[in-house]
Amino acid sequence: MTSTSSQSPSQDELKTLVGQAALQYVPQGEIIGVGTGSTVNKFIDALAGIKDRIKGAVSSSNASTERLQALGIPVLDCNAVGELAVYIDGADEIDRHGCMIKGGGAALTREKIVAAQSRRFICIADESKLVDALGRFPVPVEVIPMAAQRLVRQFAAMGGKAAIRMKDGQALRTDNGQQILDVSGLRIKDALAFESEVNQWPGVVTVGVFAHQRAAVCLLATQRGVQTLTF
């Protein structure tokens, strides 16, 4: 664990700390996968300082693409590159096996695609994200709009309460033009089984449980410094 200043860092400072710590996982001369969110934004800012060491990045959202390009980091298409050495992204929750809930930033589908194309998922998070069991954070699910209400009923049948995510008074649209259901009240005992089951419901694009694409490493920013959890 790396120690930080004697004063308690704010959550924003913790994100900066862990974003910088992730630079040690950036391989020389490679293309890396980059996630989405406020923690990843700190990583992208830090990455700008060593951008000449990498060939470029595959991005998981329009927001991250814009930030990477604004800082002069080349963004490549998934289909133009092969397997990526590493994928660096945040999480809404991570358990002690490296399974995560993701999608608070509505980018879960592209995040899962880039994660699947990468050898190792490096999760960067602050300690508030570490949980014993997934499910306190409502599970985001990207859905085809015409299936939304049937899926709301299907989640209700398993004890979940699903709500369509709204933005500016309208259903939020993802980068893929779809909608997000946020599902609360779920008890996820077996993350792999839950992900597999929900993923095959007609109309589900992606469920925001990342168990098949779980993290290999989590850099966890704590009040005592950055801890490294390996799974």
Interacting residue ranges for ligand 5RP, rule: CB under 6 A: 35-39, 89-92, 102-108, 111
**Residue 209's closest CA among 185, 228, 190, 230?**
190
Instruction: Give me the least distance between CB of 52 and ligand 5RP, in Å please.
Output: 26
Contacting residues for 153 by C-beta, under 8 A, at least 6 apart: none
Q: Would you list the DSSP string of 130-182?
A: B-SSTTSSPEEEEE-GGGHHHHHHHHHHTT-EEEE-EETTEE---TTS-EEEE
Contacting residues for 98 by C-beta, under 8 A, at least 6 apart: 121, 123, 214, 215, 216, 218, 229, 231
Instruction: Give me the least distance between CB of 48 and ligand 5RP, in Å please.
Output: 18
* C-beta closer to ligand 5RP: residue 100 or 148: 100
CA 231 to chain centre: 17
* C-beta closer to ligand 5RP: residue 130 or 149: 130
* C-beta closer to ligand 5RP: residue 147 or 221: 221
What three-state secondary structure class fits 199? Answer: helix
Active site residue 111: yes
Instruction: Give me the least distance between CB of 36 and ligand 5RP, in Å please.
Output: 4
Instruction: Give me the least distance between CB of 229 and ligand 5RP, in Å please.
Output: 16
Query: Measured at the alpha carbon of residue 178, what is the angle toward residues 174 and 182, in degrees to the nearest 5?
Result: 75
Q: Residue holding tokens 């599902």? A: 183
Give the separation between CA 115 and CA 29, rounded to whole angstroms.
19
Instruction: Give me the least distance between CB of 29 and ligand 5RP, in Å please.
Output: 26
What three-state secondary structure class fits 1? Answer: coil
* C-beta closer to ligand 5RP: residue 71 or 156: 71
Among 111, 127, 142, 197, the one annotated catalytic = 111
* C-beta closer to ligand 5RP: residue 142 or 151: 142
**Residue 143's closest CA among 202, 184, 188?**
202
List, in sequence order, every residue forming a beta bridge with 58; answer none if it has no partner: 33, 76
Q: Which positions are annotated as active-site residues?
A: 111
